[in-house]
Structure 1
Amino acid sequence: MKIKNILLITLLMIFSFPLFSQEKKKVVLRWKETSTAIFYIVEIRNKEKEIIFKEKLEDTSIPVELIPGNYERRISIINKLGEEEVTKEWAPFKIVLLVAPELESEEPVELFKDENPVKLKLKGKNFSKDMEVKIRKGELDIPIQKVDVQDENNAIVEINPEELPEGKYDIILENKRKQKKVMGYIVAKNPSEEEKPVEEPVTEEKEERKIPEDLKKWEIVKRSAILPGWGEYYAGQKINEPKYDLRGKIYFGSFAFSTFLYLYFNEFTFIPGKKTPT
């Protein structure tokens, strides 16, 4: 009879010690009974392929003590004639001692219900791939859409915001029979008006560039009449507009230069006792 049809091994483990501890832990190997067998031979070898356990017995289970790690096991069946009937090939198994998950911080986390699903990021240690997450308020468990355990230190929990009324919630992380509970860890909130993105106000720049009433007509005209460029320069200073400032300087510079040329070429006219050059 093929042993693959009768072999079933269940590892029952003691979970009371830290992960990766090098102390030996008790493990029970179990398999299905074979009607033709009077004895079974159980062999276990480590990752270096060294046989560390071998025993002949009549029962279909045996307790062994092993440290956490990777192993292989093989079971042979001895029939009523004392002959080896079936020997199973080496099959791998792993011993992992599960401990309670831990959170990096137990300070309350605020969740704003402004996206669907709401995503809760968890950081800690001892997160197993099969870790269960429960969010609870009183006796009520909140439905969870998805738990994505990325590695032993990070996980993301997705929640339907409609299932998460405002308030405080406990969180429970569980590796099989080892769990961690943090009271009031989650604070669910609706985004308030203050927390919504602020609409951009009308740009102050455009408001500032609106020409004041006193500049619309007479102030620029009066100053320009007295001294070319003064009115433009005045407008530029008032409304903080570079083009008016520059225009005023150009007008004033042009006026000054023209005046200089006029005086230069007509200088003798203004000096008493000298004739005007012909």
Structure 2
Amino acid sequence: MLNKRFQKSNTIAALLVGFLFFSLSLGAKEEGVKLEWRPIPDAGGYQVEIKDSRGKITREKTNASQIQLELPPGAYEHRIGVLNKYGRVSVFSAWIPFEVILSQKPEVIAAEKNKFLTKDMPESFEIKGKHFTEATKVILKDSKGNEIPVKSIDIKNSETMVVTIDKKKAPEGAVSLRLENPRNKSTEKENYFFVAETEDELAALESKSSYSGASGTFDLGAAARSAVLPGWGQYYQKKSTFRTAIFPSLVLVAGGYAAARGSSYMSSINELDAARQSNILYNSAFLQSGDPALFNLALYNYTQISPKYSSAVGEYNQLGIALGILGFFYIINVVDAGFFPGPKQVKVEGTDAPVTVSPILRNAIESEKAATYASGNSYLLQQRMELGVEFAW
């Protein structure tokens, strides 16, 4: 009997080792960590044990062949135990290491050198940015949309990686770069660098990309976000706190005003309808009874219908104005997100670090405001707005 149990345990262990799935790098904590394995025949359930870097073990039992866990980023090990019909572990798999990483959208700054002659194209080049991990995927495409084979990716740290390509299949034209992190976090840079046979061809590529960039400046993603929730697109573009907060505030205030005007309009309509109904009742009662008092009451009520009608018309016009203001602020919010980008990092010749370029709209500083004297020994300060671009190193 013991020999049969021992043979069965060995069979389950072999199946467990063969069927177990694991991941060396799992995604961000906000969506949980999912461990999954193929089911073991005749298993009464499973016990999942997770061991952190300090050796602390947590245990979870499940009847399914997968489990969802909430784990902070770090290095872990796990093993799966098969439960028998008495709910006890009959056999464990070996400890298997895995890592939980916080997946964030990668960021890329402009390349230090973005022009290469075909003969000088390096086999390896450095990419600078943020949120690089071992799970980051690099995709390079030429101007025709063909993917450029990547031989290796060396992650130096979270802000630097070295990518090696096959020089035998060196790209030509404008090359785009796409970085992908787990959980569908990705970013893309068109015209990340240029490759051509001659200097003239390189100049032509740069000129063409500059023209394309100038004619296609509408940020559809940011505009769509602001269309769903005012201010979301501005937050996505990392604009100033003021520009991010002003649009939802304006839309909220305008929406409240429109709601108040709508309520007033409905009240005026109800009062007008009540006056008309009362007029019908008074006239009907007077015709049936002939009472002069009812005639006077009906006449007075009739004189009130006209001002109530005028009031309802006025409230309707006010409601139209309120809705127009609300629509104006909403459209301006979408236009700001779509046509006026947030800060961007560019590479300037003669500098080692990238430069952040931000559009600005602000009041002129006090020292630059002109004082205009008026009567009574008083003076007025002329208000002036500045529209321009701010460079930050």
Show the counterpart of 2:44.
38
Residues 32-181 of structure 1: pairs in structure 2 closer than 5 A: 32-51=38-57, 53-105=58-110, 109-115=114-120, 119-129=124-134, 131-144=136-149, 146-152=151-157, 153-158=160-165, 160=167, 163-165=170-172, 167-176=173-182, 177-181=184-188
Residue 185 (structure 1) aligned with residue 192 (structure 2): yes
Distance 1:98 1:76 in 2: 29
Unaligned runs of 5+ in 1: 16-22, 194-278
8 Å CA contact 2:151–2:166 kept in 1: the answer is yes
Distance 2:20 2:152 in 1: 33
The TM-score with structure 1 as length reference comes to 0.54
Which stretch of structure 1 is more off in the superposition, 176-185 or 28-37? Answer: 176-185
Deviation at 1:109, TM superposition (A): 0.9
**What letter corresponds to residue 168 of structure 1 in structure 2?**
A
Choose between structure 1 and 2: higher strand proportion. 1
Show the counterpart of 1:8.
21
Distance 1:175 1:68 in 2: 15
Deviations 1:170-218 (A, max 9, x none): 222233533221122212233459xxxxxxxxxxxxxxxxxxxxxxxxx
Deviation at 1:134, TM superposition (A): 3.0
Show the counterpart of 1:29.
35
Deviation at 1:82, TM superposition (A): 4.4
Structure-2 change in CA distance of 1:112 and 1:94 (3 Å): same
Identity %: 25
8 Å CA contact 1:24–1:66 kept in 2: the answer is no
Deviation at 1:81, TM superposition (A): 4.5
Deviation at 1:14, TM superposition (A): 5.1
Distance 1:147 1:119 in 2: 9
8 Å CA contact 1:108–1:185 kept in 2: the answer is no
Show the counterpart of 2:242.
none
RMSD between aligned residues: 3.3
Structure with larger Rg: 1
**What letter corresponds to residue 5 of structure 1 in structure 2?**
G
Give SS of 1:133's match.
strand
Give SS of 1:41's match.
strand
Task: Give the ranges of 4+ consecutive aligned residues of structure 1 lying more than 6 Å apart after TM superposition.
Answer: none
Show the counterpart of 1:201.
none
Structure-2 change in CA distance of 1:124 and 1:113 (3 Å): same
Choose between structure 1 and 2: higher helix proportion. 2
Give SS of 1:105's match.
coil
Distance 2:168 2:92 in 1: 56
Residues 220-235 of structure 1: pairs in structure 2 closer than 5 A: none
8 Å CA contact 2:23–2:98 kept in 1: the answer is no
Deviations 1:86-129 (A, max 9, x none): 12343322111333332233677111222366554323333334
Give SS of 1:86's match.
strand
**What letter corresponds to residue 21 of structure 2 in structure 1?**
L
Residues 195-206 of structure 1: pairs in structure 2 closer than 5 A: none
Deviation at 1:29, TM superposition (A): 1.6
Give SS of 2:162's match.
strand
**What letter corresponds to residue 35 of structure 1 in structure 2?**
P
Structure-2 change in CA distance of 1:113 and 1:70 (3 Å): same
Distance 1:49 1:116 in 2: 48
Tell me the number of residue pairs that the alignment of Structure 1 and Structure 2 aligns.
184
**What letter corresponds to residue 41 of structure 1 in structure 2?**
Q
